[in-house]
Structure formats: structure tokens, C-alpha cells
């Protein structure tokens, strides 16, 4: 009996192996017939053997092939295991997909079961077609300058928690080494928890439940990206926390008639005036918590890393900030040209998301600059490799160098690069990240306060050029970035 069982298992495995090998081969041959270049896949890895085995992040598997095929067509065929994708290499093709023919590429490539994961499924990033448009229209008004200006004092107030924490720690031990991602995430956790739930998350003082749930939310998103199966991705404990916290905050405000200019107030307005459901309100809170917690913290800690490595850049930025005095207004925050250059160069080297994805909804033809015709079929999934495009030497001189000077205002800032679709850290077109302006404010506020108060150094224990961790979805380094701080009025 045991022999037959083992034989059955072996034959089943062999059948599955041969079936998927055949499917992958057919798809690869289909690419070849369509004159789509690309590396030959190997089953079961496709072109992602190293990332599948946990040796490196997927962005490096993609980048390895990108370097080989970036000048051989507008895109190339690529297999993540047995799933085929088209990796964009030509900026004109990127504009074709994200803007010119947006209606044929309006949806992201995500699989979320709305019944099992109602909060994740309500994110504009994951919604499709008219549902995406409707949800995005609900969130856009909160990103206006007037709304953000009202929120800004709260952001500054909570950012002070980071400054106070660093000061306490270095007063106790001036050799203290800080985990950059940890302190930046705790800072954004304090900020976004205040704006959404009107609470003090106390991320720097205790083992905060808000911080724990933020990490749980990141794990849920990572699960959603790594698996295409329609199973529950967000831990139940995390889901219940956000539901309970959001609705408790709403109830307290309604009962006590509390008025406060923040994100929760706007979502309560949507509930009262637009008739969104309680679950939709919680969904908005969860989406903004994710963006304000993880994305902003990653950008902040990458900027601090680059400033620590480039003391000349840091000093120039400090001088610009000091010229504005102690009271940095909302308007001035967005009028500092060098701060903007530093911010934009960090986004080029370290985009929060390494890819933008689009699914083709109907057959369409792309004609490149050489009048070569390429057919994109319904169901084809296009990846825009932000990491690779923004480090392409055809688009940026010395692409691996951190050089804010490339965005000098007299040269047009980022505009020439954005118009070419080679500087696109938040995506491009109608599906560009809707929280860009909020993230911009949140990150710049933190950077201004840190640089105004401290001299930042990268500790020698930090590896050179830290790489994105093998299991990460967001642009989070696997090797920790360690920083040191000195009060700005101290001698180096």
C-alpha cells in the first residue's frame, strides 16, 4: 500500500511538473512568435530563480534581464515562475501604457478576495474599473493644499516625538546607534495614528499596539502581493483592530462633538454627506495608514541614509533650512528648492514601490520610433520596473550616484525627466499614487526637523549600498541602515 501511495504522489508531482513546463513553454513560444525578446524561462522558476530561492529580491532578477534587453525593444518577455509578463524598457511605451492608452491599461495586476479581505480590497490601488475611479474620487479632495495646510500643524507636532526621542537617547549615550527604518516607522506611526484616530500612539515610549498593527498590516500587503490565490491575506487580528479603532474614534467624536482638522474628519464627512458605509470609512483609514506608515517612513530613512553618506549635501540643505528660522510654515516647506532636489533624488534611487503594473483589457498595437509594430494582447500584464528605469544610464548620467544637483531649478527640476517618463517614483497617469502630496509633506517635515536639530552620520556597521531584502515588497533594505546623530550645535 505504501508503495502505491508513494508512486501516486510521485506521478502526481511529475504530471504537475510536466503540465506547467508545457504551459510555460507554450507561453514562451507565443512570445517568440510575436517577436517579443526575452530570456528563456526555466521551470519552475521562470526567470526568477534567485528571488524564488530567497537569494535576492525580485527587482534584481528583473534588473538583470533589463540590462540585457533594455535596448532590444520597447519591452521584453519575462516569467515569474510560470506566469508571463511584459517588462517595459522604452519610455515611450511607458507613456503609451500609463497615459496615452490608459483606458486599455487602467487596472493593476492584483488578486484580492473582497469577501475575505474587505479592507485591502477597498484600496484604490487594488480596485478596478469604475470602482477604482469612484474610490479615488472620494480621496482626492483631502489632498488639496487647503486640506493639507490644515493638517500640517498636527504633522509637525507629532514629528517632534522623533526629535525628542533622538535627543533623549544621545544625551544618555552619545555613541548610540539607531536603526533608521525603526525610528522612521515609529515617527510615521505616531503621525498617521493621530491624523486618523486622534490618538497618541506613543511609538517611542512603549511597545505600541499601533506600531504592532502597522507591522501586521505590512505583512498582510506582502502576502497579497506574493500570492495570487484568493485566500485571506490580512491577519484577522489586524483587520479587527482597524475596524474597532476607527469606529471607536468616530463614535467618540460624534458623542463629544469634537471638531479637528484631520483625515478622520474628512472621512466622517464622506460618511455623513456622501453616504459611504462604515466599512468604506474603515477601508479609507486602513489605506491611508498603510501609505502614511510604510511608504513615508521608507522614503524618510533613505533620505537620512543619503544625507549621512553625503555630508556636503546635508550641510547645504541645513543652510537652506536655517535661513527660514525656527518656524517652518506649510508654504515655505514646499518652496525650498534644495530640499525638493534631495527629496526627488532619493525617490529616483529608492522608489517606495519597485514596480507599477498594468493589465491590458483589449488587444492594442504599439509602434516604436523605428516604426516597428508590437501587439499587446488582452490579458497581457505589463510591469514598469521603476527601480531599473530610474537607474538607467541612458536616462541619467552616473545613475548610481546620489546627485541632487541634476534637478537644479534652472534645468527644469524633475520636469524634463518626468515628461520623458524616466522619473516616475509614484507611477504615472491617472493611476499615479493619490497620496503623493501628503507623503511629500510628511517626509519633508521629518527631514527638516532632523536636519535642523542634528548632524546625521551613517554608522560604519552599515554595509555599502544596502540592497532590498529578498522577501520585501516595498523598497525596504534587507541589511539594516544604522545612523548616528550629533546635536547640530556641537563640534564634529
Annotated binding site for heme: 433
Backbone conformation region of residue 412, classed left if phi is above 0, alpha if psi is from -120 to 50, else beta: left
What does DSSP say about strands 355-359 and 381-385: parallel, antiparallel, or unpaired?
antiparallel
The grid coordinates of residue 260 equal: 479637528
The helix or strand, by DSSP H or E, that contains position 83, with its residue range, turns out to be: strand 83-88
DSSP assignment of 308-364: HH-HHHHHHHHHHHHTT-S---HHHHTT-HHHHHHHHHHHHHS-SSSEEEEE--S-E
Within 10 angstroms of residue 174's Cβ, the number of other Cβ atoms is 12
Tell me the sheet residues that pair with 458.
483
Nearest to 138 by CA among 293, 253, 295, 284: 284
Specify binding-site residues.
433
Q: Residues 6 or more apart from 55 whose CB is under 8 A from it?
A: 470
The grid coordinates of residue 434 equal: 493619490
Nearest to 429 by CA among 440, 441, 418, 415: 418
Instruction: Characterize 136-154 residue by residue with b for buried, 16 or more Cβ atoms within 10 angstroms of its Cβ, and e for exposed.
Output: eebbeebbeeebbebbbeb
Both ends of the chain: CA-CA distance in Å?
76
Instruction: Characterize 42-55 residue by residue with b for buried, 16 or more Cβ atoms within 10 angstroms of its Cβ, and e for exposed.
Output: ebebbbbebbbeee
Tell me the sheet residues that pair with 359.
107, 381
Amino acid at each position: 500500500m505504501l508503495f502505491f501511495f508513494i508512486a501516486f504522489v510521485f506521478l502526481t508531482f511529475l504530471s504537475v511538473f510536466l503540465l506547467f513546463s508545457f504551459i510555460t513553454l507554450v507561453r514562451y513560444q507565443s512570445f517568440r512568435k510575436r517577436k517579443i525578446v526575452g530570456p528563456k524561462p526555466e521551470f519552475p522558476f521562470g526567470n526568477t530563480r534567485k528571488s524564488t530561492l530567497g537569494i535576492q529580491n525580485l527587482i534584481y532578477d528583473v534588473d538583470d534581464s533589463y540590462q540585457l534587453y533594455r535596448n532590444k525593444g520597447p519591452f521584453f518577455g519575462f516569467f515569474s515562475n510560470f506566469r508571463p509578463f511584459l517588462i517595459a524598457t522604452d519610455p515611450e511605451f511607458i507613456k503609451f501604457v500609463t497615459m496615452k492608452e490608459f483606458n486599455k491599461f487602467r487596472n493593476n495586476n492584483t488578486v484580492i478576495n473582497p469577501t475575505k479581505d474587505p479592507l485591502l480590497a477597498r484600496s484604490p490601488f487594488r480596485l478596478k474599473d469604475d470602482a477604482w475611479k469612484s474610490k479615488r474620487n472620494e480621496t482626492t479632495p483631502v489632498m488639496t493644499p487647503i486640506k493639507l495646510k490644515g493638517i500640517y500643524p498636527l504633522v509637525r507636532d507629532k514629528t517632534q516625538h522623533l526629535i525628542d526621542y533622538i535627543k533623549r537617547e544621545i544625551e544618555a549615550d552619545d555613541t548610540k546607534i539607531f536603526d533608521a527604518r525603526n525610528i522612521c516607522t515609529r515617527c510615521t506611526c505616531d503621525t498617521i495614528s493621530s491624523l486618523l484616530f486622534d490618538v497618541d500612539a506613543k511609538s517611542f515610549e512603549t511597545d505600541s499596539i499601533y506600531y504592532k498593527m502597522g507591522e501586521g498590516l505590512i505583512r498582510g500587503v506582502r502576502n497579497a502581493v506574493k500570492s495570487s490565490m484568493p485566500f485571506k491575506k490580512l491577519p484577522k487580528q489586524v483587520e479587527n483592530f482597524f475596524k474597532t479603532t476607527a469606529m471607536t474614534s468616530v463614535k467618540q467624536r460624534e458623542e463629544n462633538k469634537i471638531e479637528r482638522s484631520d483625515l478622520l474628519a474628512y472621512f466622517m464627512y464622506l460618511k455623513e454627506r456622501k453616504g459611504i458605509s462604515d466599512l468604506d470609512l474603515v477601508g479609507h483609514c486602513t489605506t491611508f495608514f498603510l501609505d502614511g506608515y510604510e511608504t513615508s517612513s521608507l522614503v524618510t530613512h533613505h533620505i537620512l541614509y543619503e544625507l549621512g553618506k553625503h555630508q556636503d549635501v546635508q550641510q547645504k540643505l541645513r543652510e537652506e533650512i536655517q535661513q527660514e528660522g525656527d518656524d517652518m510654515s506649510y508654504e515655505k516647506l514646499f518652496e525650498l528648492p534644495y530640499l525638493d532636489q534631495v527629496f526627488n533624488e532619493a525617490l529616483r534611487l529608492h522608489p517606495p514601490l519597485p514596480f507599477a503594473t498594468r493589465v491590458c483589457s483589449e488587444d492594442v498595437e504599439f509602434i516604436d520610433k523605428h516604426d516597428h509594430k508590437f501587439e499587446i494582447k488582452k490579458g497581457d500584464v505589463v510591469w514598469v520596473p521603476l527601480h531599473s528605469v530610474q537607474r538607467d544610464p541612458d536616462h541619467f548620467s552616473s545613475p548610481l550616484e546620489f546627485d541632487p544637483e541634476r534637478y537644479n531649478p534652472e534645468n527644469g527640476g524633475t520636469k524634463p525627466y518626468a515628461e520623458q517618463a524616466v522619473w516616475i517614483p509614484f507611477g504615472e497617469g491617472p493611476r499615479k499614487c493619490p497620496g503623493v502630496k501628503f507623503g511629500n509633506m510628511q517626509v519633508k517635515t521629518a527631514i527638516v526637523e532632523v536636519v535642523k536639530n542634528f548632524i546625521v552620520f551613517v554608522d560604519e556597521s552599515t554595509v555599502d549600498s544596502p540592497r532590498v531584502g529578498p522577501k520585501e515588497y516595498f523598497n525596504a533594505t534587507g541589511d539594516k541602515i544604522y545612523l548616528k546623530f550629533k546635536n547640530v550645535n556641537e563640534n564634529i
